[in-house]
Amino acid sequence: MNILNLIKERRNIKKFKTDPIEQERIYTWLEAASMAPNHRMTEPWEIYYVGNETRVKLNHKTNFGNAPILIAILSRHGATKVETEENAAATACFIQNFNLAAWAEGAGTFWSSIGITPKNRSILGVPDNYDLIGVLGVGYPEVIPDPKPRTPIKNKIHFLP
Ligand SMILES: Cc1cc2nc3c(=O)[nH]c(=O)nc-3n(C[C@H](O)[C@H](O)[C@H](O)COP(=O)(O)O)c2cc1C
């Protein structure tokens, strides 16, 4: 698929098929995700596979759209506030790479920020020196939502003197 179409057609998925998703395919997407830009090659991301015992404790309203796989993506703090922010930015790039790699192969993700509360951080066992950037349901979409309209980009472009 053309890269522009891939980017434009990706959606956050809220309802998944029950079909399992092959572990090797997920590893392939994670490998591709790890080519994300990251300052000073900090590679700040860590991936937690969330098993059912932990997943039920998160008590998500829709159980992440019944996604067959749930992963949490963590970002390590840096030595300074700036480094921590840069690491979080790099990890967001990692997640979007993963989203697009999955989408290119007919799969999708439900990006949830459920894990950011202290209670859910604790359920997921996130160490103090990590941010939790997203909890992702991963699977084959049952429903692909319509695109959500965006502000025309020209309204967001600013030319400095
Ligand atoms: C940092 C971040 C956190 C998000 N958290 C949630 C969430 O908790 N629940 C949810 O339904 N969607 C969440 N989303 C997905 C957005 O709602 C979704 O991307 C947005 O509605 C646009 O839809 P689209 O991705 O299909 O274009 C999150 C996205 C980001 C980048």
pLDDT in tens, 94-138: 999 999 999 999 999 999 999 889 999 999 999 999 999 999 999
> Which of 63, 93, 94, 111 should be mutated for ligand 1, with most atoms under 8 A from CB?
111
Domains held by the chain: number: 1
Regarding pTM above 0.85, the answer is: yes
DSSP H or E run through 67 = none
Q: Specify if 65 maps to a domain.
A: yes
CATH number for position 45: 3.40.109.10
At 1 the pLDDT is 77
Summarised one tens digit per residue, pLDDT across range 76-88 is 999 999 999 999 9
Range of the domain at 26: 3-156
Any domain includes 28: yes
Asked, for residue 161, whether it belongs to a domain, the answer is no
Distance (angstroms) between ligand 1 centre and the Cα of 112 equals 7
Q: 149 in a domain, yes or no? A: yes
DSSP 126-156: --TTEEEEEEEEEE-BS--PPPPP---GGGG
